[in-house]
C-alpha cells in the first residue's frame, strides 16, 4: 500500500505517477494514479507485489515528495477514512462539533488538503447541550476567497468525485443556540457528493436552528451518476424556538418519514424543500401545534438537467392545530398569509392522503407553482381539509382563483373524514359563480355585465375573464381591489365610462380588509442571536446611506463589527429586491427603491478624490441575496463577493434611494389589468378585441408581490382612450409583443414610479438566415408574464405549431432552468433566434444559454453555448436542430444580478410558416397622442423594437413634465427614449417636455435602404432638462431625419450636449436653441467615407453657454455638414463653431 503524505501541488513543475507493477512491465494498459488528478484514491493498494513511482521535474525541485509504503501478506482491506463519535456529551461550547470537508487538493499557499474517495462521520448516542452557536456545523472548505479567485472556467474544472457520508443516530439536542447546519456558502461547484443518514434524534428546547442541510452543485453528476441523498426518520423536533428544517441546494434523493414536529416556534416556516428540484418523499410525519408562516413548503427555483422526471410526493402526513404567527390578512399578499402546506416554484408534486386541519392559519394549501399560462394543475386529491363542504374547502385553498399566476388545485375527490383510510368523495367540483352581491374573485366562465351601483364592488381575489367570454363594465362603476390582486383578461373587457361618469379602479382601504387572528405571537421578547463574524451578535446588519440628496438616499455602507469600521458596498449583484430589504432594515420606506452605480463615492461623500487609493478593507466583502419578502437583511442568504475586485476597478459603488411612497398610507398597491392569451403562440389576429374608455386607475402596480404596469398587454392590443393612471408602483402601460396596432389617446398618466408608457415589439424574422437586425441588449421584460414562455416555470415540455417566444429575466437567486420545445407536427426541425441577449458576468457561477438536439441535455447533443462574452455574430446566428430532431432543448444557468440582464428568443418550426408575418402592414401604426405624462419617476415613453420589419410610430401632442430619475450626476437616457430598427416612419411632434431628467433620445439602425426610416421630429418644446441631453439622434447612415421648428430652451445639462446628431442623414431647420448650458450646444459627426450630409439652416442659436471644446457653441467632428442662413449669437462662448477633421 502506498499513501501520499506530501507533494508539490504545482504540477506544471513536478509531476508524480504511481503504477501498479514493475517499472520494466509498465505499458499503456498498466493501472496508474496521477498526482493530483487521482489524489482522492490514495492510499492505493497493489494487485500483486510491486508498485512503481515515477517523478518528473521541469523546474527546481521543491523537496516536497513523501510517501508511506506498507506491505502485508494476504488480502488487504481497502482503507476507509472515518470518524466515529459514540456515547459523548458535548456541553457548553461555542459549537458542539465542527467538521470541515475539503473541496480541492490544496490552497493558494500550496498547503495540502487530504481528500479521500470515501469519508464517513458517524455520530451515535451523543448529547449536544447548551452550545452557544450551534450543535453540529459542517462546511465545505475551498481554497478560493475574495482575494484569490480564478475564472469560472478554472473553477468548473472537475476533479474526481468523493463521497462524504454523515450518519447521526440516537442523539439528543437540547438548549443549544443552533442545530445541525451543513453549509456550502461561496462554493459554486463541489467535488464531493454528500450522503446524510439521520434517525432517532430528539431535538428539543433549543433557542434557534434545527436542521439546515444544503447540497452543493456537483460538476460530474451527469457522467458519473453521483447523487446527493438524505434520509431522516423516526426523530422528534419539539418545543424549539426560531426553528427551521430545511433541505436546500442542488438535486438530491430525499426521504423524510415517521418524524414528529410539535410545539415549535419557527423562524419563518417550519419545514422547507428548496433550491433545485428533488426526488423526495415526505411520508408518515406528524406536524402539529407549531407556529410559523407555513408548516411545509416546497419552493424550487431550478430544474435539474440530469434527469427528465423528478418525482415528489407528500403522503400520509397529518398537519393539525398549527397556527400563523400574528394578525394576518385573510386575502392578501402571500408574504403576509400563513398556510399549512405550500407549493411554490417550478417542481411538480403530488399531495395525497394527508390530514390537514389548521383553523388558525390563513389557508390549508398554497398552490403557488410558477406557470406561464392557464392549464397548470396541482394534484391535491384525496386529502382531508377539515370539512366536507366544498364552499368551505375552496376558501381554505389558495390557488389560481386567488392569484391567477398560480396552479389550479385539483382537490376533488377529497377524504370524507379525518382518517387516512377514509373513502374519497364522489361529488363533482363546484364551478365558480360570480355573485355581484358578494366580494368578487375567481374565473369568469360566462359573459357578464357589471352594472352601476352606488357602493363599490370589492375584488378580494384575482378576476380571470376566460377565453371566449367578456366582461362589460358600465359607466360610473367603482371597483376596489385587495392588495396584490387584479384582472386577467383572456377573453374581452369592455369598460365604457363617460367624461362625466368615469369607471374607477382603486385599492380597498386597509381598515376594511378582514384579518385572521393568531392565538400566540411568534416574537417572545428574547434577543435574537446573529451568527456572523462581522456583524453585531444582537443587532445584525447596521447600515447607513451617505452622500445623497437626503437621508433616504446615498451610497450604502455596512458596519463591520470585527474591523470596527464602516465599509462601502460595491456589488454587481446588488438588485432592487435586496435594496427593498435594506430599506426595511433601516426602517425606511421600501415601496419605491432606486438602485444605481456611481464611481464618485469620494466626491459626494468626502468632497475630494480618494478612491484611487482604495484597498479591499474599505469594502463589505459579501453578497446579500434577498427575494424581497424578508423583513431584515439578517434573513437573507449571503455568500462571498468574488466579483469585488472587478467592481472596485470599475467603480460600481452601490447608490440607493429609499424613495417616498406615492400612495396614501391607508392603501396598499393592488395588482393591475392584464390582457393576454391562453396560447403561447400569437395568432396575429386583426382588430381590437377590448376597449377601455374614460376610466381612472389609481394605486395599481404590485401584482403578486412583483412590480408591474397598471395596464399590461401581451400580444393583445386593447384600445385605450381618456384613461387616467395615477400613483402606480411601476409603469402606466406596458405593451409586450403586440400583434396589432394600438392607440393611447387623451390619457392622464401621472405620478407613477415607472414610465408612463413602455412598449417592446418582438417581431423576429421570417427567413432562416442569420438575423438581419440587432439583438436588444437590456431586458425590459417584466419578471412574470402570462402567455409567453418563461424559462423557470413548471412546464418543461412546450409543443409549438408555428412560433412562440421564450424569455428569462434575471432575479434574486442562482437558477438552472430548462425548456424542451417539440413540434406538433412530427419530423419538423426547430429553429431558435435571439431577440434580446444580455447575460451577467459572474466569477463563481457560469451564466450561459445552451441549446441541444432533443430532450436530453448531454454534452454530445449540444448545438451551441452562449455566454456573457459571446460575439454579436454569435448572438445573431439562427440555430436549428439537426435533420432528425424535431425537439430542441434550451437551458439557462444564471446567477443573481440586477438591472436589464436576461434574454428573449423566438422558437419556430421549420420551414417557417407562411402565416408568420413580422410586420402588421404598411398602413398600420402605433399611436401615443394627447396624453398628460407628469411626475413619472422613470420617464415618459420607453419604446423598443426588434425584427426585420416593424410598424410605424406616432408620438405627438403629449405633455411630459417632471419626469425622469435625477440621481447624483448620472446621465438619464431620455424621457422619450426610443430604439428602432427596420422601421419606416417615425413622427415625434408637438410634444411639451419640461423640468425632466432628459429629453428625446432616438437610436435607429437598419440593414438596408429599403427598410430605412423617415423620421419627423418637429414642433417640440424642450426646456429645463438636467440629467440628460434634450435631444439625442443617432443611427445608420441610411436613416433620414427631418428636425424642424423645435424650441429648446433653458436646459442645464452640465457635461452633456444640448443636441447630438451622430451618423444619420439630417435636415435641421428653423429650430431655436436659447439660454442652454452644456459642453456643446450642438455636437454632430458623420462617417466621412459615406456620401451623405447634414444640413443646418435657418436656425436661431443664441445666448447659450458651452464650456467644452474651447467653449464652442457647435462642435463638428467630421467634414460633411452644410450650414446656411443660421443666426448664432452666444457671447459667453469663445467660438461659435469648432471643427475636427477625422479623415485619418
pLDDT band for position 687 (cuts 50, 70, 90): very low
Q: Which three cell numbers stand for residue 1005?
A: 439602425
User: What confidence tier does 608 reach under pLDDT thresholds 50, 70, 90?
Assistant: confident
pLDDT beyond 80 at 940: yes
Lowest mean pLDDT among 7-11, 1019-1023, 1029-1033, 1140-1144: 1140-1144
978, 1129, 991: which is closest to 1047 by C-alpha?
A: 991
CA dihedral 268, 271, 276, 278 (to 10 degrees): -170
- pLDDT-derived band at 1066 (thresholds 50, 70, 90) equals very high
Instruction: Give the mean model confidence (pLDDT) for residues 66-88.
Output: 79
- Choose between 130 and 148: higher pLDDT: 130
Q: What is the pLDDT of residues 1007-1057, one digit of tens each?
A: 888 888 999 999 999 999 999 999 999 998 889 999 999 999 999 998 999
pLDDT at 336 over 80: no
- Give the pLDDT score at 761: 93
pLDDT of residue 1144: 43
d(CA 310, CA 303): 9
Tell me how far apart the alpha carbons of residues 778 and 942 are, in angstroms, rounded to a whole number. Answer: 12
Q: Which has more pLDDT, 144 or 599?
A: 599
Who contacts 113 (Cβ-Cβ below 8 Å, separation ≥6)? 102, 104, 105, 106, 107, 141, 143
Looking at the DSSP assignment, which residues form a beta bridge with residue 379? Answer: 350, 410
pLDDT of residue 630: 86
Query: 594: which 3 cell numbers?
Result: 432606486
Q: What is the mean pLDDT of residues 483-492?
A: 94
- At residue 831, the pLDDT reads 96
pLDDT of residue 636: 87
What are residue 246's DSSP bridge partners? Answer: 212, 272
Mean pLDDT value across the chain? 89
Per-residue pLDDT at 38 exceeds 90: no
Residue 470 CA to residue 449 CA, distance in Å, equals 8
Q: How confident is the model at residue 596 (pLDDT cuts 50, 70, 90)?
A: very high
How much is the average pLDDT of 96-120?
A: 84
List, for residues 739-797, the tens digit of each pLDDT value: 888 899 999 999 999 999 999 999 888 888 999 899 999 888 888 888 899 999 998 99
Q: Is it the case that residue 699 has pLDDT exceeding 90?
A: yes
Tens of pLDDT, residues 367-413: 988 888 777 899 999 999 999 999 999 999 999 999 998 889 999 99
Q: Does 686 have pLDDT greater than 70?
A: no
Q: What pLDDT score does 641 carry?
A: 84
Res 334: pLDDT: 65
pLDDT for residue 717 is more than 90: no
> What's the CA gap between 76 and 73, in Å, rounded?
8
Name, in order, each residue with C-beta under 8 angstroms of 348's C-beta and a sequence gap of 6 or more: 310, 312, 369, 794
First to last CA, the chain: 73
Strand partners, 1003: 979, 1034
Q: Give the pLDDT confidence score for residue 589 in this predicted structure.
A: 93
Per-residue pLDDT at 919 exceeds 60: no
- Out of 218-222, 613-617, 648-652, 1059-1063, least confident range: 218-222
Mean pLDDT over 654-663 rounds to 94
Cell of 135: 450543535
DSSP state of 820: E
Rounded CA separation 305/887 (Å): 15
Task: Give the pLDDT confidence score for residue 75 in this predicted structure.
Answer: 63
CA distance 846 to 154: 11
pLDDT of res. 926: 92
Residue 684 is predicted with a pLDDT of: 46
Checking if the pLDDT of 520 tops 80, the result is no
- pLDDT confidence of residue 393: 95
Cα–Cα distance measured from residue 297 to residue 363, given in angstroms and rounded to the nearest whole number: 13
Q: Grid coordinates in use for 162?
A: 468523493
Residue 76's pLDDT is what?
59
In this prediction, residue 156 carries a pLDDT of 62
Residue 349 confidence class, pLDDT cut points 50, 70, 90:
very high
What is the Cα 491 distance to its own chain's centre? 29
pLDDT at 820 (0 to 100)? 95
Nearest to 989 by CA among 961, 953, 963: 953
Give mean pLDDT, residues 550-577. Answer: 92
pLDDT given at position 235: 97
DSSP state at residue 813 = S
pLDDT tens track for 868-913: 999 999 999 999 999 989 999 999 999 888 778 999 999 999 998 7
pLDDT at 330 over 80: no
> Which comes out higher in pLDDT, residue 261 or 337?
261
pLDDT of residue 329: 46
| pLDDT in the model for residue 183 | 85
Q: Does the structure show a pLDDT above 70 at 531?
A: no
361 has a pLDDT exceeding 50: yes
pLDDT of residue 149: 66
pLDDT computed for residue 522 by the predictor = 47
pLDDT in tens, 438-474: 999 999 999 999 999 999 999 999 999 999 999 999 9
Lowest-pLDDT choice from 82-91, 199-208, 429-438, 1019-1028: 429-438
According to DSSP, the residues that pair with 832 across neighbouring strands are 879, 907
| Other Cβ atoms within 10 Å of 1055 Cβ, number | 11
pLDDT at residue 1119 is higher than 80: no
> Average pLDDT of 356-360?
95
| pLDDT bucket at 631, cuts 50 / 70 / 90 | confident
- Please determine, for residue 1102, whether its predicted confidence score (pLDDT) is greater than 90: yes
Say which residue, 896 or 1129, is predicted with more confidence.
1129
Task: Give the pTM.
Answer: 0.91
CA distances from 713 to 488, 629, 690 (A): 10, 27, 11
> Is 488's pLDDT higher than 50?
yes
Burial 1011-1041 (b: 16+ CB within 10 A, else e): bbbebbbbbbebbebbbbbbbbbbbbbbbbb
The percentage of residues in the chain with a pLDDT greater than 70, rounded to a whole number, is: 93
DSSP 371-395: -SSS--EEE--S-B-S-S-HHHHHH
Which of 785, 770, 759 lies closest to 983 in space, CA to CA?
759
Q: SS3 for 369?
A: strand
Pick the closest to residue 508 from 557, 559, 459 (CA basis): 459
Q: What local confidence, expressed as pLDDT, does residue 39 receive? A: 83
Q: What is the pLDDT of residue 661?
A: 93
Nearest to 690 by CA among 709, 673, 706, 707: 673
Amino acid at each position: 500500500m502506498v499513501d501520499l503524505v506530501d507533494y508539490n501541488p504545482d504540477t506544471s513543475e513536478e509531476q508524480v505517477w504511481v503504477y501498479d507493477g514493475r517499472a520494466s512491465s509498465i505499458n499503456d494498459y498498466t493501472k496508474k494514479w496521477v498526482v493530483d488528478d487521482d489524489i482522492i484514491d490514495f492510499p492505493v493498494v497493489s494487485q500483486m507485489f510491486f508498485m512503481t513511482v515515477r517523478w518528473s521535474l521541469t523546474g527546481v525541485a521543491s523537496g516536497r515528495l513523501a510517501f508511506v509504503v506498507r506491505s502485508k501478506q494476504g488480502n488487504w482491506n481497502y482503507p476507509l477514512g472515518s470518524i466515529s463519535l459514540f456515547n459523548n456529551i458535548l456541553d457548553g461550547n461555542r459549537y458542539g462539533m465542527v467538521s470541515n470537508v475539503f473541496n480541492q487538493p490544496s490552497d493558494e499557499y500550496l498547503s495540502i488538503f487530504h481528500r479521500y474517495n470515501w469519508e464517513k462521520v458517524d455520530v451515535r448516542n451523543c448529547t449536544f447541550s447548551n452550545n452557544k452557536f450551534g450543535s453540529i456545523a459542517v462546511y465545505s472548505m475551498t481554497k478560493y476567497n475574495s482575494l484569490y479567485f480564478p475564472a469560472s472556467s478554472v473553477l468548473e474544472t472537475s476533479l474526481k468525485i468523493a463521497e462524504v457520508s454523515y450518519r447521526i443516530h440516537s442523539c439528543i439536542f437540547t438548549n443549544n443556540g443552533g442545530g445541525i447546519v451543513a453549509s456550502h456558502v461561496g462554493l459554486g461547484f463541489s467535488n464531493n457528493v454528500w450522503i446524510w443518514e439521520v434517525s432517532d434524534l430528539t431535538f428539543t428546547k433549543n433557542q434557534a436552528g434545527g436542521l439546515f442541510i444544503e447540497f452543493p452543485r456537483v460538476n460530474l453528476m451527469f457522467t458519473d451518476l453521483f447523487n446527493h441523498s438524505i434520509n431522516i426518520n423516526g426523530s422528534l423536533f419539539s418545543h424549539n424556538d426560531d426553528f427551521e428544517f430545511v433541505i436546500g441546494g442542488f438535486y438530491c434523493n430525499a426521504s423524510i418519514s415517521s418524524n414528529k414536529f410539535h410545539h415549535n416556534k419557527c423562524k419563518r416556516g417550519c419545514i422547507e424543500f428548496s433550491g433545485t428540484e428533488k426526488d423526495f418523499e415526505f411520508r408518515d410525519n406528524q406536524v402539529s401545534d407549531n407556529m410559523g408562516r407555513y408548516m411545509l413548503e416546497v419552493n424550487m427555483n431550478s430544474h435539474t438537467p440530469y434527469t427528465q422526471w423528478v418525482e415528489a410526493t407528500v403522503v400520509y402526513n397529518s398537519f393539525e392545530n398549527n397556527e400563523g404567527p400574528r394578525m394576518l390578512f385573510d386575502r392578501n399578499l402571500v408574504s403576509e398569509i400563513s398556510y399549512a402546506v405550500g407549493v411554490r416554484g417550478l417542481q411538480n408534486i403530488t399531495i395525497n392522503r394527508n390530514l390537514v386541519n389548521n383553523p388558525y392559519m390563513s389557508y390549508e394549501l398554497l398552490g403557488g407553482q410558477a406557470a406561464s399560462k392557464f392549464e397548470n394543475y396541482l394534484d391535491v386529491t384525496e386529502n382531508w381539509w377539515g370539512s366536507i363542504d366544498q364552499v368551505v374547502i375552496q376558501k381554505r385553498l389558495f390557488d389560481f382563483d386567488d392569484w391567477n399566476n398560480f396552479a389550479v388545485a385539483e382537490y376533488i375527490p377529497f377524504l370524507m373524514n379525518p382518517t387516512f383510510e377514509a373513502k374519497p368523495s364522489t361529488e363533482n367540483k363546484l364551478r365558480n359563480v360570480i355573485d355581484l352581491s358578494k366580494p368578487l374573485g375567481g374565473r369568469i366562465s360566462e359573459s357578464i355585465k357589471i352594472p352601476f351601483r352606488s357602493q363599490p364592488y370589492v375584488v378580494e381575489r384575482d378576476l380571470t375573464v376566460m377565453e371566449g367570454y367578456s366582461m362589460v363594465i358600465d359607466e360610473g362603476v367603482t371597483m376596489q381591489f385587495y392588495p396584490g390582486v387584479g384582472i386577467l383578461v383572456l377573453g374581452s373587457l369592455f369598460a365604457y365610462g363617460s367624461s362625466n361618469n368615469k369607471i374607477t379602479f382603486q385599492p380597498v382601504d386597509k381598515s376594511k380588509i378582514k384579518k385572521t387572528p393568531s392565538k400566540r405571537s411568534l416574537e417572545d421578547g428574547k434577543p435574537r442571536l446573529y451568527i456572523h463574524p462581522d456583524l453585531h451578535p444582537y443587532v445584525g446588519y447596521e447600515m447607513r446611506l451617505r452622500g445623497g440628496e437626503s437621508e433616504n438616499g446615498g451610497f450604502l455602507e455596512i458596519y463591520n463589527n470585527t474591523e470596527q469600521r464602516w465599509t462601502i458596498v460595491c456589488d454587481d449583484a446588488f438588485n432592487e429586491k435586496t435594496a427593498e430589504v435594506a430599506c426595511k432594515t433601516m426602517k425606511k420606506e421600501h415601496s419605491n427603491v432606486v438602485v444605481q452605480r456611481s464611481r464618485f463615492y469620494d466626491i459626494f461623500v468626502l468632497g475630494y478624490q480618494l478612491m484611487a487609493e482604495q484597498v479591499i478593507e474599505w469594502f463589505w466583502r459579501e453578497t446579500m441575496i434577498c427575494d424581497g419578502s424578508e423583513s431584515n437583511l439578517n434573513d437573507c442568504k449571503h455568500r462571498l463577493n468574488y466579483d469585488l475586485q472587478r467592481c472596485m476597478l470599475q467603480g460600481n459603488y452601490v447608490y440607493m434611494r429609499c424613495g417616498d411612497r406615492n400612495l396614501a398610507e391607508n392603501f396598499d398597491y393592488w395588482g393591475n389589468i392584464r390582457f393576454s392569451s391562453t396560447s403561447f403562440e400569437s395568432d396575429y389576429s386583426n382588430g381590437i378585441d377590448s376597449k377601455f374608455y374614460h376610466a381612472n386607475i389609481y394605486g395599481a402596480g404590485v401584482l403578486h408581490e412583483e412590480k408591474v404596469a397598471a395596464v399590461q398587454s401581451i400580444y393583445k392590443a386593447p384600445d385605450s382612450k381618456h384613461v387616467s393612471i395615477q400613483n402606480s408602483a411601476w409603469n402606466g402601460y406596458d405593451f409586450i409583443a403586440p400583434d396589432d396596432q394600438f392607440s393611447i389617446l387623451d390619457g392622464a398618466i401621472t405620478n407613477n414610479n415607472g414610465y408612463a408608457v413602455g412598449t417592446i415589439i418582438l417581431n423576429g424574422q421570417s427567413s432562416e438566415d442569420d438575423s438581419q437586425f440587432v439583438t436588444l441588449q437590456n431586458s425590459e421584460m417584466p419578471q412574470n408574464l402570462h402567455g409567453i414562455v418563461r424559462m423557470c416555470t413548471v412546464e418543461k415540455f412546450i409543443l409549438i405549431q408555428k412560433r412562440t417566444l421564450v424569455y428569462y429575466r434575471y432575479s434574486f437567486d442562482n437558477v438552472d432552468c430548462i425548456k424542451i420545445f417539440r413540434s406538433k407536427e412530427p419530423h419538423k426541425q426547430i429553429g431558435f433566434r435571439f431577440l434580446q441577449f444580455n447575460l451577467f458576468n459572474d466569477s463563481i457561477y457560469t451564466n450561459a444559454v445552451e441549446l441541444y438536439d432533443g430532450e436530453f441535455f448531454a454534452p454530445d447533443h449540444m448545438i451551441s453555448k452562449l455566454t456573457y462574452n459571446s460575439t454579436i455574430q454569435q448572438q445573431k446566428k439562427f440555430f436549428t436542430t439537426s435533420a432528425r430532431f424535431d425537439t430542441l432543448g434550451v437551458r439557462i444557468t444564471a446567477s443573481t444580478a440586477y438591472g436589464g440582464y436576461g434574454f428573449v428568443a423566438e422558437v419556430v418550426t421549420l420551414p417557417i410558416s407562411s402565416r408568420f408575418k413580422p410586420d402588421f402592414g404598411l398602413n398600420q401604426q402605433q399611436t401615443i397622442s394627447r396624453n398628460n405624462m407628469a411626475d413619472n419617476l422613470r420617464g415618459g415613453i420607453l419604446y423598443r423594437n426588434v425584427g426585420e420589419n416593424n410598424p410605424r410610430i406616432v408620438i405627438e401632442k403629449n405633455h411630459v413634465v417632471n419626469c425622469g430619475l435625477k440621481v447624483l450626476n448620472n446621465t438619464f437616457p431620455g424621457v422619450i427614449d426610443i430604439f428602432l430598427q427596420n422601421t419606416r416612419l417615425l413622427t415625434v411632434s408637438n410634444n411639451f417636455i419640461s423640468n425632466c431628467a432628459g429629453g428625446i433620445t432616438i437610436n435607429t439602425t437598419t440593414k438596408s435602404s429599403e427598410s430605412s426610416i423617415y423620421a419627423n421630429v418637429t414642433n417640440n418644446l424642450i426646456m429645463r432638462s438636467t440629467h440628460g441631453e434634450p435631444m439625442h439622434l443617432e443611427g445608420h447612415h441610411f436613416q433620414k431625419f427631418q428636425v424642424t421648428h423645435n424650441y429648446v430652451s433653458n436646459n442645464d445639462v452640465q457635461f452633456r450636449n444640448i443636441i447630438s446628431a451622430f451618423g444619420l442623414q439630417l435636415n435641421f431647420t428653423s429650430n431655436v436653441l436659447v439660454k442652454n448650458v452644456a459642453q456643446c450646444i450642438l455636437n454632430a459627426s458623420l462617417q466621412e467615407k459615406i456620401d451623405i450630409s447634414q444640413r443646418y439652416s435657418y436656425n436661431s442659436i443664441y445666448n447659450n453657454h458651452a464650456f467644452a471644446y474651447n467653449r464652442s457653441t457647435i462642435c463638428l467632428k467630421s467634414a460633411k455638414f452644410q450650414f446656411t442662413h443660421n443666426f448664432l449669437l452666444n457671447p459667453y462662448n469663445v467660438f461659435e463653431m469648432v471643427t475636427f477633421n477625422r479623415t485619418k
